[in-house]
Amino acid sequence: MKYLSAAWDFPTMKQFRLLGLAMIIVLGMTTSGMRFATAQDAEVQPGAGPAAPVEAAPGQNPAAQPERSVIPVTPAQAVTALGWWGLPFGLATLISLWFSTERLVVLRRARVIPKPFVDRFLHHLREGTIEPDEALQLCDENGSPVAQIFAHGVRKWGKPSVEVEQAIIDGGERQVSQMRKHLRVLNGVATVSPLIGLLGTVWGMIDAFNGIAGSAAMGSPEKLAAGIALALLTTAAGLMVAIPSLIIYMYLSGRVDRLVMDMDRLAQEVVYSISAEALHERTRS
């Protein structure tokens, strides 16, 4: 019988499908826009002659002239290009780092299930060399999550096993709730960050197309490509925040589940040692 319960709270598959569909639509719009711009550039105006070649400066080799990049390629350029869109991603990164570090510290096994305390406590219970008041005092002094669960069972010392089990279940639910505290924040960061990135991409693409439509250079694919590249930076930034957050969320959720299973096993030993049935069996032997 499981005394402690643990539930996974991942985003639903429907949410993932909707996000994937939206990203496919955005990428399709991007591809169509670039093809349209290329086609416009390839059209030849009636009566227009070939464009005159650009002459290089005296003493300079035209082939040696470096091409100017309009797409951010370094982290500093990307942060500058994001502009105010970088604020929500920076805030999400800080939140993820803060709560990830806090949960990694809180969910250390040595803190949740201290082995020296558990071994000594269960040894005294098996040998019958400890009284209820002393056992409760040991649990209060230790203060770890498993000690708090043991304390709920010790308060029902000598009662039927059903009552002891129920007391441990109630205490275990409180401790599991504390252990899972703030994990939903990481889940929220992993879910919301790509959506913010998608919103930034759509917003940036609208702005890029408006800029092209309102300018005289309708056949300038480099301007359209630069605008779309800057817009797609928000999606990349959202994924860069969401992927590590989701990984650490899955890892911490798995750690909580493993700790809960171990505490459940140890709680069973407490029930078998302090319930009325166990004490009666010990006195008979």
- 253-263 residue pLDDT tens: 999 999 999 99
Which pLDDT does position 2 carry in this prediction? 42
Q: What mean pLDDT is predicted for residues 199-211?
A: 80
Report whether pLDDT(1) > 70.
no
Segment among 11-20, 190-199, 208-217 with least mean pLDDT: 11-20
Which pLDDT does position 70 carry in this prediction? 53
Burial of 149 (0-12, 13-18, 19+ CB in 10 A): buried
Q: What mean pLDDT is predicted for residues 277-285?
A: 76
Q: What is the pTM of this model?
A: 0.68
pLDDT in tens, 111-154: 999 999 999 999 999 888 889 899 999 999 998 999 999 999 99
Which pLDDT does position 176 carry in this prediction? 92
- The residue among 36 and 116 whose pLDDT is bigger is 116
Which pLDDT does position 28 carry in this prediction? 45
Report whether pLDDT(51) > 70.
no
Q: Exposed e or buried b for every residue in 152-187, given b needs 16+ CB within 10 A?
A: bbbbbbebeeebbbbbbbebbeebbeebbebbebbb
Which pLDDT does position 50 carry in this prediction? 45
Q: Distance (Å, rounded) from C-alpha 100 to C-alpha 125?
A: 37
Q: Max Cα separation, the chain?
A: 113
CB 268 within 8 A of CB 172: no
- The residue among 243 and 209 whose pLDDT is bigger is 243
3-state secondary structure the chain: CCCCCCCCCCCCHHHHHHHHHHHHHHHHHHHHHHHHHHHHHHCCCCCCCCCCCCCCCCCCCHHHCCCCCCCCCCHHHHHHHHHHHHHHHHHHHHHHHHHHHHHHHHCCHHHHCCHHHHHHHHHHHHHCCCCHHHHHHHHHHHCCHHHHHHHHHHCCCCCCHHHHHHHHHHHHHHHHHHHCCCHHHHHHHHHHHHHHHHHHHHHHHHHHHHHHHCCCCCCCHHHHHHHHHHHHHHHHHHHHHHHHHHHHHHHHHHHHHHHHHHHHHHHHHHHHHHCHHHHHHHHHC
Which pLDDT does position 220 carry in this prediction? 63
Which pLDDT does position 78 carry in this prediction? 63
